[in-house]
């Protein structure tokens, strides 16, 4: 634990990049598999956890899609989501914006309503009982077709009041944002916010496409933007929010060592970086773990930690009223820790 760990713990956090299926802890996965009569190809929780060694994004995704196969009923989606909310309460996360991948479940025959009803029931309960506000982001799988994304949007039609934004995730290389320009235009026409994973493994060109062809409201990851000085200028000028995920980057070999992580360079370039956990059950840490690990690796100071926290509050899609509450809490914590 760093000297700053109690400061990190006290910060009122907003998490903007979290895949609910990536919060599936092995213990819960085994319990749900058992009650659904599904056999996992692992003998124990320990054996499953020991499979979490990845050389790249695809190796992770193969295990991630296998894990979500045990989700079958509305209560499974509820249990998954409420477990995540209870866990982040301990990290003082006050607002969360979660992705879910409906196509990963529709493909297995799980109705759209089963998925979203369970997730929303937990999110609403978490807002009431844990005081964690939320937004739900429906994400398209980019390894699937444009047509499949349009079909998924049609499935979502009755729920558009409950879905705040649309994302784009899964295997990045070979699946550029341009493949989905038309479906994202349709989403924007419906008044949805849009975001896309870009520049995680894929090149800076994919970040340009996310900005210019998808017209994203923010960028998920964005690490490789730093390879292109013109892109950095553009992101800074637009004050584009980047939802960065340090432990994810380490586990997926996007960085070879956390001390080479680009967050300090992003902040120095005036980019609106935020810290997030991505798939915490697979990558070894929730929000405080990410902040502590990064703080120690690159020696972040209190001022930088406050900037990252403020960026997340400002860059969130929480209501203005909620943002004011979180900003006031941040101010109080800064005073309590004598941070100017």
Ligand X SMILES: Nc1ncnc2[nH]cnc12
Could you say whether residue 200 binds ligand X (CB under 6 A)?
yes
Give the 3-state secondary structure of residue 98.
strand
Cβ–Cβ under 8 Å, residues 99 and 137 = yes
3-state secondary structure of 99: strand
In the structure encoding, which two tokens stand for residue 273, read together?
Answer: 């970086």
Contact of residue 80 among Zn ion, ligand X, none (CB under 5-8 Å per partner type): none
- Residue among 200, 201, 205, 230 flagged as catalytic: 200
Shortest distance (Å) from residue 22 CB to ligand X: 5
Confirm whether residue 212 is marked as ligand binding: no
190-249 positions binding Zn ion, by CB under 5 A: none
Residue at token pair 């005036």 = 270
CB of 219 to ligand X, least distance (A): 12
169 binds ligand X (CB under 6 A): yes
d(CA 202, CA 250) in angstroms, rounded, equals 16
Residue 17, annotated as binding a ligand: yes
CA distances from 100 to 67, 143, 161, 163, 258 (A): 14, 15, 16, 10, 27
**Among residues 4, 7, 18, 22, the one that binds ligand X under rule CB under 6 A:** 22
* Residue 162: active-site member: no
In whole angstroms, how close is the CB of 294 to ligand X at the nearest point? 16
Single residue of 8, 14, 57, 163 touching ligand X by CB under 6 A: 57
> ∠ CA 328-329-333 to the nearest 5 degrees?
120
Nearer to Zn ion, 70 or 245 (CB): 245
Q: Is 278 annotated as contributing to ligand binding?
A: yes
State the residue for tokens 């760093």: 2
**Which CB sits closer to Zn ion, 7 or 218?**
218
Query: Strand (E) positions, 149-262?
Result: 165-169, 193-198, 218-221, 241-244
* 187 near ligand X, judged by CB under 6 A: no
248 contributes a contact to ligand X by CB under 6 A: yes
Binding partner of residue 57 among Zn ion, ligand X, none, CB cut-off 5 to 8 Å per kind: ligand X
Q: What is the dihedral of CA 191, 142, 270, 252, to 10 degrees?
A: 140
CB of 333 to ligand X, least distance (A): 29
- Please give the Cα distance from 19 to 223 (Å, whole number): 18
Q: Which residue is nearest to Zn ion (CB)?
A: 278
Provide, rounded to whole angstroms, the least separation between the CB of residue 211 and ligand X. Answer: 18
Q: Please give the size of the binding site for Zn ion, defined by CB under 5 A.
A: 1
| Chosen residue from 25, 74, 201, 278 binding Zn ion by CB under 5 A | 278
Neighbours of 50 (CB within 10 A): 10
For position 19 contacting ligand X by CB under 6 A, the verdict is yes
The token pair at 129 is 């009982």
The Cα 27–Cα 106 span in angstroms is 24
Which of 133, 152, 170, 274 is in the footprint of ligand X by CB under 6 A? 170
For the CB of residue 283, give the shortest distance to ligand X in the complex, in Å: 8
257 is in an annotated binding site: no
Q: Which stretch binds Zn ion (CB under 5 A): 4-12, 153-161, 278-286, 320-328?
A: 278-286
Which positions from 278 through 337 interact with ligand X, judged by CB under 6 A?
A: 278-279
Which of 159-177 are b and which e, b meaning 16 or more Cβ less than 10 Å from the residue's Cβ? beebbbbbbbbbbbeebbb
Start-to-end Cα distance in the chain:
23
- 197 is an annotated ligand-binding site residue: yes
Alpha carbon distance 217, 214 (integer Å): 9
Give the residue ranges of the annotated binding site for substrate. 279
Catalogue the active-site residues: 200
Site for Zn ion, rule CB under 5 A: 278
């Amino acid at each position: 634990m760093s000297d700053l760990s109690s400061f990190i713990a006290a910060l009122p956090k907003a998490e903007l990049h979290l895949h609910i299926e990536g919060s599936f802890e092995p213990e819960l996965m085994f319990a749900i598999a058992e009650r659904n009569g599904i056999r996992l190809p692992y003998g124990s929780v320990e054996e499953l956890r020991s499979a979490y060694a990845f050389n790249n994004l695809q190796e992770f995704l193969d295990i991630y899609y296998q894990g979500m196969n045990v989700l079958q009923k509305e209560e499974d989606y509820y249990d998954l989501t409420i477990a995540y909310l209870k866990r982040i309460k301990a990290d003082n996360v006050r607002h969360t914006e979660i992705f879910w991948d409906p196509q990963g479940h529709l493909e297995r025959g799980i109705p759209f309503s089963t998925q979203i009803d369970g997730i929303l029931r937990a999110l609403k309960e978490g807002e009431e009982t844990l005081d964690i506000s939320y937004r739900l982001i429906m994400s398209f799988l980019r390894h699937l077709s444009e047509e499949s994304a349009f079909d998924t949007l049609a499935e979502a039609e009755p729920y558009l009041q409950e879905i705040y934004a649309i994302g784009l995730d899964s295997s990045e290389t070979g699946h550029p944002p341009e493949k989905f320009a038309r479906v994202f235009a349709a989403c924007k026409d419906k008044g949805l916010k849009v975001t896309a994973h870009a520049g995680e493994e894929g090149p800076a060109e994919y970040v340009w496409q996310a900005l210019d062809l998808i017209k994203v409201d923010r960028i998920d990851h964005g690490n490789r933007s730093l390879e292109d000085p013109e892109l950095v200028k553009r992101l800074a000028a637009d004050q584009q929010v980047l939802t960065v995920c340090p432990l994810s980057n380490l586990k997926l070999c996007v960085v070879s060592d956390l001390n080479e992580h680009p967050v300090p360079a992003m902040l120095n370039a005036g980019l609106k970086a935020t810290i997030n956990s991505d798939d915490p059950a697979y990558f070894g840490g929730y929000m405080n773990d990410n902040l502590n690990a990064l703080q120690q690796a690159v020696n972040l100071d209190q001022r930088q930690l406050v900037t990252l926290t403020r960026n997340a509050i400002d860059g969130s899609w929480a209501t203005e009223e909620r943002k004011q509450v979180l900003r006031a809490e941040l101010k109080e914590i800064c005073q309590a820790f004598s941070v100017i």
